[in-house]
Amino acid sequence: MNANEAIARQLAEADTFKNVFARMHAATRRNAQVERSARQARLDALAALVHDNAERFVTAISADFGHRSAHETRLLELFPSLESIRHTRSHFGAWMKPQRKSASIIIPQPLGVVGIIVPWNYPLFLAVAPLAAAIAAGNRVMIKMSEFTPRTGELLAELVARYFTEDDVAVVLGDATVGADFARLPFDHLLFTGSTKVGHDIMRMAADNLTPVTLELGGKSPAIVGLDYPMAKAAERIMVGKLLNAGQTCIAPDYVLVPAGQEQAFIEAARAVVAKCFPAMATTPDYTAIVNDRHYQRLQGYVTDAQARGAKIEPLSTAKADDTRRKLPPLALLNVDDTMRVMQDEIFGPLLPVLPYKDLDAAIAYVNQHPRPLALYYFGNGGGDRDRVLNETVAGGVTINDTILHIAQEELPFGGVGPSGMGHYHGIEGFKTFTKQKAVFYQSRLNGMSLFNPPYGALFERLTKFLIR
């Protein structure tokens, strides 16, 4: 396909998805409410789509990455997708019910048409989880898949067309230009998962239509190892969380704060974890590749920049980097500072800066001097220190004495704060995000409001004095 043909195809695709949006939008204005049975049927269809095509997703995602561990796809994409749908199916009926408040009522209503922009790192789960919430809330949904995972996008588009009508759920494919056109549509709500940088752009595009947005971004999520916590145990939980998807996870530990003098102990413990989990890292199918050449070179650039500025690079595996297959063994970095790119950008890969701290005050101060993170991890047995970290830092979510797992709790809201995002979803929070909680007040047949009508006089003065006594 030459350049002119590619442009023509993009324009045609843009016209097509804009027409789909127009039909969805018109349908939501004709009929604002969606019955529970229709929502149930759509959730059932979504569950069947994921369950019945599980291995096709495993294959497609691996092909998009160059290699993605099949076990990780099943654990990190298929299982949480199905669990999110199960939880939503079990509870959305109760979430739909009006809430009665003395003389008032709150009626949950669908917003209308919801847009979801999906990143490349977890292309199934980060499409399905918000889709389940939006469907449960009674919305029609358009999903823009990442151009970096084209096979997964094409598969999801094929399956959505089979399991749903186009006016209920539709998938949009295409590059960043298509993504920008998508973000500019006047959605009733837009959810974007991706980088903080692109989040700025999405918010600007949505602002033209006053479209409310939920931004699930990233940032530098710290792990703090307390003085009283076994280093080997902390290293195990940190490295396992860090190396899921080769570090290409928005809530992966981005750097580790350890008690001063314990840096080398952490590195030795981390090496033991890597050797145990990936005894043949160069050939194991359990270790995922970096998604594309651009991101592989970005990570290599972080290492080069840090080394040039005085960082010490500590390999955590005996395996060598494989440029052809984009397999990057994990590296720890010592003597890092904020002048280095690796300490400025979200790493999104298997590089782990290790920083010493003098005392807990210093660790908390370091976290608070930087943009608020999407996740924070604290390892410690003492309740006092744990509570100080929880109370004196602000983060999107926290796991204590482990990593990652707070994202898997459907009863907990998931979302960032400030540069790491805005808004929440998962469980009932997703339902609320995609619902208008319409407030309704019922005036009693017998009421005294006429006593407050103008012209105002002595009775009005007595009544208002009573009210504001």
Map 248-275 to HEC letters: CCCCCCCEEEEECCCHHHHHHHHHHHHH
- Provide DSSP, 67-125: ---HHHHIIIIIHHHHHHHHHHHHHHHHHHSPEEETTEEEEEEE-SEEEEE--SSSTTH
The CA angle 439-443-444, to the nearest 5 degrees, is 140
What is d(CA 24, CA 4) in angstroms, rounded to the nearest whole number? 30
> What sign for the dihedral angle of Cα 387, 392, 397, 403?
negative
**Marked catalytic residue, from 72, 77, 236, 250:** 250
Closest alpha carbon to 355 in 224, 227, 233:
224
What is d(CA 58, CA 258) in angstroms, rounded to the nearest whole number? 37
**Marked catalytic residue, from 72, 77, 216, 263:** 216
Q: At what angle do helices 54-65 and 150-163 cross, to 10 degrees?
A: 160
* DSSP 8-state class, residue 343: G
What is d(CA 156, CA 150) in angstroms, rounded to the nearest whole number? 10
**Catalytic residue check, 216:** yes
User: Do residues 396 and 375 lie in contact, with contact meaning Cβ atoms separated by under 8 Å?
Assistant: yes
Q: What are the backbone angles phi and psi of residue 38, rounded to the nearest 5°?
A: -70, -40
- Provide DSSP, 136-199: HTT-EEEEE--TTSHHHHHHHHHHHHHHS-TTTEEEE---HHHHHHHHTS--SEEEEES-HHHH
User: Do residues 149 and 120 lie in contact, with contact meaning Cβ atoms separated by under 8 Å?
Assistant: yes
Place of tokens 């350890």: 258
Place of tokens 């619902």: 435
**Catalytic residue check, 277:** no
What is d(CA 322, CA 15) in angstroms, rounded to the nearest whole number? 42
Tokens for 456? 């105002």
* Strands 255-259, 351-357: pairing kind: parallel
In this structure, what is the dihedral angle of CA atoms 132, 133, 136, 138, given to the nearest 10 degrees?
Answer: -110
26 burial type by CB count under 10 A (0-12 exposed, 13-18 middle, 19+ buried)? exposed
Q: Which residue type does 465 have? A: K
SS3 356: strand
Give the catalytic positions in this structure: 216, 250
